[in-house]
Amino acid sequence: MEKINLGVKAALFPSPVVMCGTYNEDHSVDVMTIAWAGMAASNLVEINILENHKTTDNIKKRKAFTLAVATKELMVPCDYLGVVSGAKVADKFEKSGLTAVKSEFVDAPVINELPLTMECELVSMDKGPEELRIVGKIKNVVAHKAILGEDGKVDVSRIHAIVWDNFKAGYYEVGEKVGQSFRESKKLDSFLAEHKSGLSQLAGWADEKKEETPSAACGTACGAADAEPEKKEETPSAACGTVCGAADK
């Protein structure tokens, strides 16, 4: 498979799509869409937002915010809340059609229609190179009963959460469960025995076929390394200065 260098890109995929709820000075609700977010510890979340958002002001003043997982069914209002600012449209949240109640745990609103919300208290707000890096401590997570499985735990497949990609700014639904972490690895021996001919084709890249002709860069048959994909180099090989892996032969 030919590899292309894409340069510096935010290539971590997928990004979660979360709706950050805060209160304005007059206690009306503001919500903004955030994709640059993640877990920082089991009870800490991190969001990266620009300083000029109304949300930023609100978090500074109220020291609290909520983060609700956006869903496929409510993708339209969730997207709307990411393109209109509460600084310009005072009743932005009302216009979205969503509704909210005050969190029982922090000074921020919980959106009624979204099924999973983290209620967070501000821990820190640091200036990053382009944005503010805000860390919040989770004081509670509130969930609709409908997304809990029989074991009482959140069943992610019931949420219809959407995630985002930074390449094309698309939304994608989180799909079916395909495995169980820490358990799949136990199948490694039988998995490798089943796929003795190598994993390149199994990975499904249609044109993963080995090149039989010498590459222009190094004059050797670069595809030879594909026979043993686990040895394939990611960095330029000493032999030819390309990522073809010819040095492995």
| Two structure tokens written together for 168 | 């094309």
Report H helices in 97-239. Answer: 188-194
- Decide if 14 contacts 218 (C-beta within 8 A): no
157-186 b/e with 16+ CB inside 10 Å = b?
A: eebbbbbbbeeeeebeebeeeeeeeeeeee
- Decide if 175 contacts 18 (C-beta within 8 A): no
Stretch that binds ligand FMN, among 42-50, 96-104, 135-143, 153-161 (CB under 6 A): 42-50
**SS3 label, residue 80:** helix
Binding ligand FMN by CB under 6 A: which of 77, 82, 109, 223? Answer: 82
Binding of residue 109 to ligand FMN (CB under 6 A): no
Binding of residue 237 to ligand FMN (CB under 6 A): no
Binding of residue 50 to ligand FMN (CB under 6 A): yes
Stretch that binds ligand FMN, among 83-91, 144-152, 197-205, 240-248 (CB under 6 A): 83-91
Pick between residue 51 and residue 184 the one whose CB is nearest to ligand FMN: 51
Pick between residue 85 and residue 242 the one whose CB is nearest to ligand FMN: 85
Binding of residue 68 to ligand FMN (CB under 6 A): no
Phi, psi of 37 (to 5 degrees): -145, 160
Report H helices in the chain. Answer: 54-62, 75-80, 92-96, 188-194
- Decide if 189 contacts 209 (C-beta within 8 A): no
Minimum CB separation of residue 49 from ligand FMN in Å reads: 4
Chain centroid to CA 27: how far? 30
Stretch that binds ligand FMN, among 46-54, 107-115, 194-202, 216-224 (CB under 6 A): 46-54
Minimum CB separation of residue 122 from ligand FMN in Å reads: 15
Stretch that binds ligand FMN, among 31-39, 201-209, 222-230, 237-245 (CB under 6 A): 31-39
Pick between residue 70 and residue 244 the one whose CB is nearest to ligand FMN: 70
Stretch that binds ligand FMN, among 53-61, 103-111, 120-128, 203-211 (CB under 6 A): 53-61
CA dihedral of residues 227, 210, 12, 195 (deg, nearest 10) = -40
Site residues for ligand FMN per CB under 6 A: 17, 30, 32-36, 48-50, 53-55, 79, 82-87, 92, 164
